Amino acid sequence: MNALKQALASGPGQVAIRAVVAVALVWLVVLPLLGASDSTLFTMTLMLTSVAVAINWNLTGGFTGYVDFGHAVWFGLGAYVTAILMSLQANSLSIGWPPVPAIVVGAVVAGVLAGLIGRVTMRLKGPYFSIAMLGTFVAVREIVRTWGGLTGGGVGLTLPPYLNRQLFYYVELALVVGLVVLVWWLRRTRFGAALVAIREDELGAQMRGISTTRLKVAVFSLAGASTGLFGGLWAYQNTFVDPDIAFTEVRTIDAIMGTLLGGLGTVAGPVVGSVGLYWLREVLWANLLDYHLVAQGVLLILIVLLMPRGIVGTFDRRGVSARHLWRLRRRHADDRSEEVTAP
C-alpha cells in the first residue's frame, strides 16, 4: 500500500494523474461539440452543480472540521434571491433584473448571511454546530414559505426562461474548474494550513496566535457565497423555484456523501466523490429502482468501513478519515477551555 502511495505521489503516478485530468478536461470541453443532447448537457450541469456544492461543503466540513448539516440553505438563498430579482413585477409589467447581476447579488447575499450566521453558530462546538446549521436550514426554508409577498410562498416563483443548455454547461464547467484551482491554491497558503489547524486543534491554534474565529467565519462565508452562486445559476436554468426544491436537504446529504466517498479534507476528493456518486446513482437507479436508496446507504457504510479516508484520501494523506474527524469533533466539544468559542 505504501509503495503504491509513493508511486502515485511522484514520478509516473503523478504523470498518470495529470494525464487523466487532462483527458477528462478535454472530453468535458468537447462534449457539447460531439453532439451531446440537451438533456445530457442538463444532467452534466446538474452534476457539476453537485460537485461545486460538495467542494464548498468540504471547505468548512473537511478542511476546517465544522461539519455543516444545513449547507443547502445557501443554495436555496442564492436561488431565491436570483429568482426574486429576475421576476420582479410592477403593475404586472416585468421589471426583472438581468441574470448576471441577479445571480451575483444572490451569491453576495448568501455569503453575507453565512458570515453573520456563522459568527453565531460557529461558537458552538462539535456536533452542536452541525445541529444548529440543520435548524438554520429548516428555519430559513419555512421563513421563505411564509413570506409569501416576496417569495411567492409555497407556490414559488417563475423566472423568465432562457434555455441555452450549452451555455449553462460551459459556464458551470468554467466555474467548477476555477473553484478547484481556488481551493488547491488556498490549501497551499497559510490560510489553508490554518484551517486544518482549526480542525485538528482549535484551542492549540488560538494559543499559537491564530485568530481562529476570523478565519473559520471567513471560509464559511466564502463557501456560502460560492454555493449561493450555484444556487442562482440553478434557479435560472430550472426557470422555477419553490421552497421544497430550492431548499432540499438532499443537496447537503449529497455533498457530505460525495465528500466522504472522495476524501474529506482533500482538494480533489469532493470532485471525484460527487462524480462517482452521480455515476453510481445512475447505475443503481437503472437496475435497482425500488431499492436504490437502500443500496446507496449500504454502499456508503461500506465505503466508510473499507476506505475510511475516501478514494483520494487513500493516496493523499492530507485528508482525514470520517472516524478521526468524529473523534476530533468530540474532543473539540469536550475541550475544557471556556474561550474556544468566545467572539
Partner 1 sequence: MTALLEAAGVVKRFGGLTAVDGVDIEVAPGEMVGLIGPNGSGKTTLFDCLSGIQSIDGGSVSFDGVDITRRRPHQVARLGMARTFQLIRVYRDLTVAENMELSTQWAEVGLRDLFRPAGAATRRKAGDLLEFLMLGPMRDEPAGTLSGGQRRLLEIGMALMSDPRLVLLDEATAGVNPSLVEDIKDRLRAVNSEQGVAFLLVEHNVQFVADLCERVVVLDAGSKLAEGTPSQIMDDPAVIEAYFGAAGRAHQTNAGANGTGAGP
Q: What is d(CA 333, CA 262) in angstroms, rounded to the nearest whole number?
A: 26
Residue closest to 186 by CA, chosen among 82, 19, 59: 59
Q: What is d(CA 205, CA 211) in angstroms, rounded to the nearest whole number?
A: 8
CB of 343 to partner 1, least distance (A): 9
CB of 64 to partner 1, least distance (A): 12
In order of 44, 63, 175, 231, 289, the CA distances from 305 in angstroms are 30, 21, 33, 33, 25
157-158/240-241 β-pairing:
antiparallel
Per-position DSSP letters for 148-198, written without gaps between them = HHHH-GGG-EEPPP---HHHHHHHHHHHHHHHHHHHHHHHHSHHHHHHHHH
CB of 310 to partner 1, least distance (A): 14
CB of 96 to partner 1, least distance (A): 37
Q: What is d(CA 316, CA 308) in angstroms, rounded to the nearest whole number?
A: 13
Q: Which is nearer to partner 1, 197 or 275 (CB)?
A: 197
320 part of the interface to partner 1, by CB under 8 A: yes
Q: Which is nearer to partner 1, 176 or 205 (CB)?
A: 205
Per the CB < 8 A criterion, the answer to whether 187 and 319 are in contact is: no
Selected binder of partner 1 within 3, 33, 89, 339 (CB under 8 A): 339
Residues 147-206 within binding reach of partner 1 (CB under 8 A): 186, 188-191, 193-194, 196-197, 199-201, 203-206
Residues 258-277 within binding reach of partner 1 (CB under 8 A): 265
CA quadruple 35, 37, 38, 43: dihedral positive or negative?
negative
Interface stretch with partner 1, choices 25-33, 81-89, 111-119, 331-339 (CB under 8 A): 331-339
DSSP 32: G
Q: Which is nearer to partner 1, 242 or 316 (CB)?
A: 316
Q: Which is nearer to partner 1, 149 or 209 (CB)?
A: 209
Q: Which is nearer to partner 1, 200 or 249 (CB)?
A: 200
Helix axes 212-238, 38-58, angle to 10 degrees: 170
318 part of the interface to partner 1, by CB under 8 A: yes
Q: How many residues bind partner 1 (CB under 8 A)?
A: 32
Residues at the site binding partner 1, with contacts judged by CB under 8 A: 186, 188-191, 193-194, 196-197, 199-201, 203-212, 265, 317-320, 324, 337-339, 342
